[in-house]
């Protein structure tokens, strides 16, 4: 599998404004923010899309949600939106599973 932008960030081959890291996850600020706070939570394990995850990934997926909550709290967000795009037609541009943590402004529904 070809390295993605995100695997290069994990491997420190590309710079990123990293706000959190543990053995399973990395969180950094989006370079094209869509809100005052826009973080990306990624697993260090390469999973191209959420639909590519398996039962084996259950604990990791739960961990990513807990990390998203933790970094939202670190950023002082009481209200925030989490978003996962699955596939190109859903807006996914980097094929390495990631959770967008967006906050610092009001959001409307439905999105996009």
Strand partners, 29: 39
State residue 75 phi and psi, 5-degree precision.
-85, 0
At 112 the pLDDT is 64
The pLDDT-based confidence of 1 (bands split at 50, 70, 90) is low
If 0-12 CB within 10 Å is exposed, 13-18 middle and 19+ buried, where does residue 32 land?
A: exposed
At 62 the pLDDT is 98
In a domain, 32, yes or no: yes
CATH of the domain at 72: 3.30.428.10
In a domain, 110, yes or no: no
Give yes or no for a contact between 82 and 99, defined as CB atoms under 8 angstroms apart. yes
For residue 81, the enclosing domain spans 5-103
Rounded Cα gap, residues 20 and 70, in angstroms: 9
Q: Tell me the per-residue pLDDT of 40-65, one tens digit each, with 9 for 90 and over.
A: 999 999 999 999 999 999 999 999 99
In a domain, 108, yes or no: no
In a domain, 111, yes or no: no
pTM to 2 decimals?
0.95
The total domain count for the chain is 1
At 111 the pLDDT is 80
Which residues are known to be catalytic? 98
State residue 100 phi and psi, 5-degree precision.
-85, 130
Half-sphere exposure of 94 (CA within 13 A, CB side): 19
Q: What is the mean predicted confidence (pLDDT) over 101-112?
A: 91
At 95 the pLDDT is 97
């Amino acid at each position: 599998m070809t390295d993605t932008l995100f695997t290069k960030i994990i491997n420190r081959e590309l710079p990123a404004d990293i706000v959190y890291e543990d053995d399973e996850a990395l969180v950094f600020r989006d370079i094209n923010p869509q809100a005052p706070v826009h973080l990306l939570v990624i697993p260090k394990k390469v999973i191209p899309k959420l639909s590519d995850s398996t039962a084996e990934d259950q604990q990791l997926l739960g961990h990513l949600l807990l990390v998203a909550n933790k970094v939202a709290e670190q950023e002082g967000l009481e209200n925030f939106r989490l978003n996962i795009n699955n596939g190109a037609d859903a807006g996914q541009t980097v094929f390495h599973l990631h959770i967008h943590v967006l906050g610092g402004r009001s959001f409307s529904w439905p999105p996009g």
